[in-house]
Amino acid sequence: MKAYQVKRYGKKEKLVLSDLPEPTVKDNEVLVKIHATAINLLDTLIKNGDFKIFLPYKTPFTNGHDMAGVITKVGANVSKFKVGDEVYARPSDFSIGTFAESIAVNENDLALKPKNISMEAAASIPLVGLTSWQALVEIAKVKKGQKVFIQAGSGGVGTFAIQLAKYLGAFVATTTSATNVEMVKNLGADVIIDYRNEDFSTLLKDYDVVLHSNRENLILKKSLQILKPGGVLISLTGPPTAEFAKKIGLGFPFQILMKLLSMSVNRIAKKLKVHFEFLFMKADGKQLAEISSLIEEGKIRPIIDRVFPFHETNEAMSYVETGRSKGKVIVKLI
């Protein structure tokens, strides 16, 4: 099968199209023929080597974290799915590799594809859907009437998180450029801030939740300051915390390192009487199935910017790296 692999870590490196044998299927896995995948900023960060400290993939490896396709083979112990099922998933860490024609996936990472959307639309959902769910439902436990600030509302996570927050009954503020105001308004945003001309920290206050996705330290500090006492900031960009290191099974030295990395932000959070948490989403088929129900009920709709053919996977990666995409960027295989 054909697959795009990371042969060497580096910002200037491109993925390499390779010929690989079909994946072997373990007893608790299914083999999926991939119809579509999606490009995420995470794919770039993995390729660059930015996450080697806690995701030490040994090169060469196949990149890619989102997929939708059809099951062609099932392992001996698989009970939830059968050959021919249309499914989608964000495979678990160390089992990634959706920039390929086929992938073996643990059945616990899978969910049936929503019936009312295409393979391309389904491939846009898993990573951003699970990230939003784990931030807003699992960690923040957003309730009706709460105020939620979602940064980068026109991005992949932002477009999904706005819709989920509104479904949960929240009042939602977001940032975007002037050209994307109508789009995020149509997704349900109540307050829209043009980040190029306005400072959100002077316009927002007493928020319950911040979903933080900006890599600038100043933005992180400002985001903490708009929370009311007892509020929570969930960061997708770091710094990682000691609690996170312990949760994913890293040893004591790494826990100490991440405690040091997050010491400054935790000190500020403590002073403001708010909570800081780093989120690196995990694969979860059950949560994805709940997301499927919301999509089939019309509560949430996928937002797609562009669809690239498989042979332009590197071009799709470059496009995402510009930071200008609105919603998700898809690579279509079939």
Rounded Cα distance, 184 and 169, in Å: 16
Residue with tokens 């959706």: 98
Whether residue 53 has pLDDT greater than 90: no
- Domain shared by 254 and 273, yes or no: yes
Report yes or no on 286 lying in a domain: no
Report yes or no on 81 lying in a domain: yes
Report yes or no on 284 lying in a domain: no
Report yes or no on 295 lying in a domain: no
3-state class (DSSP) for residue 114:
coil
- Domain shared by 54 and 64, yes or no: yes
- Domain shared by 203 and 226, yes or no: yes
Our measurement of the distance from residue 166's CA atom to the centroid of its chain's CA atoms, rounded to an integer in Å, reads 19
- Domain shared by 38 and 132, yes or no: no
Summarised one tens digit per residue, pLDDT across range 69-104 is 999 999 999 999 999 999 999 999 999 999 999 999
pLDDT of residue 172: 98
- Domain shared by 272 and 148, yes or no: yes
- Domain shared by 23 and 117, yes or no: yes
- Domain shared by 161 and 111, yes or no: no
Share of the chain above pLDDT 90, in %: 94
Q: What is the CATH number of the domain that holds 111?
A: 3.90.180.10
Query: With contact defined as beta carbons under 8 Å apart, do 4 and 314 qualify?
Result: yes
pLDDT of residue 281: 95
Summarised one tens digit per residue, pLDDT across range 254-279 is 899 999 999 999 999 999 999 999 99
Summarised one tens digit per residue, pLDDT across range 126-142 is 999 999 999 999 999 99
pLDDT band of 183, cuts 50, 70, 90: very high
Tally the domains of the chain: 2
pLDDT of residue 163: 98
pLDDT of residue 247: 86
Give the range of the structural domain holding residue 223, as residue numbers without chain letter.
127-278
- Domain shared by 135 and 262, yes or no: yes
Report yes or no on 290 lying in a domain: no
Share of the chain above pLDDT 70, in %: 100
- Domain shared by 311 and 261, yes or no: no
First to last CA, the chain: 14
pLDDT of residue 221: 97
pLDDT of residue 250: 86
Report yes or no on 98 lying in a domain: yes
- Domain shared by 121 and 133, yes or no: no
pLDDT of residue 49: 95
Report yes or no on 20 lying in a domain: yes
The residue-averaged pLDDT of 303-323 equals: 96
pLDDT of residue 231: 98
Give start and end residues of each alpha helix (H) in 142-277.
156-167, 181-187, 200-203, 217-225, 242-247, 252-261, 263-272
State the average pLDDT for the chain: 97
pLDDT of residue 57: 97
pLDDT of residue 249: 86
Rounded Cα distance, 9 and 75, in Å: 33
- Domain shared by 38 and 87, yes or no: yes
pLDDT of residue 54: 83
- Domain shared by 240 and 176, yes or no: yes
The residue-averaged pLDDT of 55-72 equals: 97
Rounded Cα distance, 68 and 191, in Å: 33
Whether residue 27 has pLDDT greater than 90: yes
Q: What is the CATH number of the domain that holds 150?
A: 3.40.50.720
pLDDT of residue 263: 96
Report yes or no on 84 lying in a domain: yes
* Radius of gyration for the chain, computed over Cα atoms and rounded to the nearest angstrom: 19
